[in-house]
Amino acid sequence: MQQYIALEDCKDRFLYRLKSRNLSLGVFNKKRNGFVGIREKFGARYLATEYHYDTGAPFGTAQPLEELEEMPAGLEAVEMFEGAIDGETNRMVDFDKAVAAEGKWGWYFVDTGEYSEKIRPYAISNKKLKEWLENIGSDKD
């Protein structure tokens, strides 16, 4: 069995070659003890996180085998950014639990504070990280 790099020896924001369930490469996120990489499922390619093997079962599935390089400045090792945007206007939106608890529509535009039933929220994907991993993945595979 090939020895893997222990959790305490993994460096934040570094790319690793992995032995894992769904990822071959992943950037280590120390805060989450996981690796963010590109997963392919049913023809779709998207960012996903697998947690370091040392975090234990059932979620610790990724064994880093080789440290490759540091992620470029300006990128973050996350699948999605916090917050959401409206699918039609691309404006930032947020959800108000107190308003929703009153049986009213809880989504509102962050810039104006306006509540609207027309808001269709979408998570903000980390496109820059995905592009970097796609470009580097072809060199490293």
Query: Using the 8-state DSSP alphabet, how is residue 10 labeled?
Result: P
Q: What is the predicted pLDDT for the residue at 1?
A: 52
Query: Using the 8-state DSSP alphabet, how is residue 85 labeled?
Result: E
pLDDT in tens, 82-115: 788 898 898 999 988 887 778 877 899 999 998 9
Q: What is the predicted pLDDT for the residue at 2?
A: 65
Say if residue 71's pLDDT is above 80: yes
**Which residue blocks in the chain are alpha helix, DSSP H?**
97-101, 127-140
Residue 62, SS3? strand
Choose between 61 and 123: higher pLDDT: 61
Q: What is the predicted pLDDT for the residue at 9?
A: 96
Q: What is the predicted pLDDT for the residue at 96?
A: 87
Say if residue 70's pLDDT is above 90: yes
**Mean pLDDT, residues 131-136 taken together:** 92
Q: Which two tokens stand for residue 32?
A: 């989450």
Tell me the residue ranges of DSSP E strands in the chain: 14-19, 25-29, 34-41, 44-52, 60-70, 80-86, 92-95, 107-109, 121-125
Q: What is the predicted pLDDT for the residue at 19?
A: 95
**Mean pLDDT, residues 48-70 taken together:** 94
pLDDT confidence bin for 141, thresholds 50/70/90 = very low
State how far the Cα of 98 lies from the Cα of 93, in Å rounded to an integer. 16
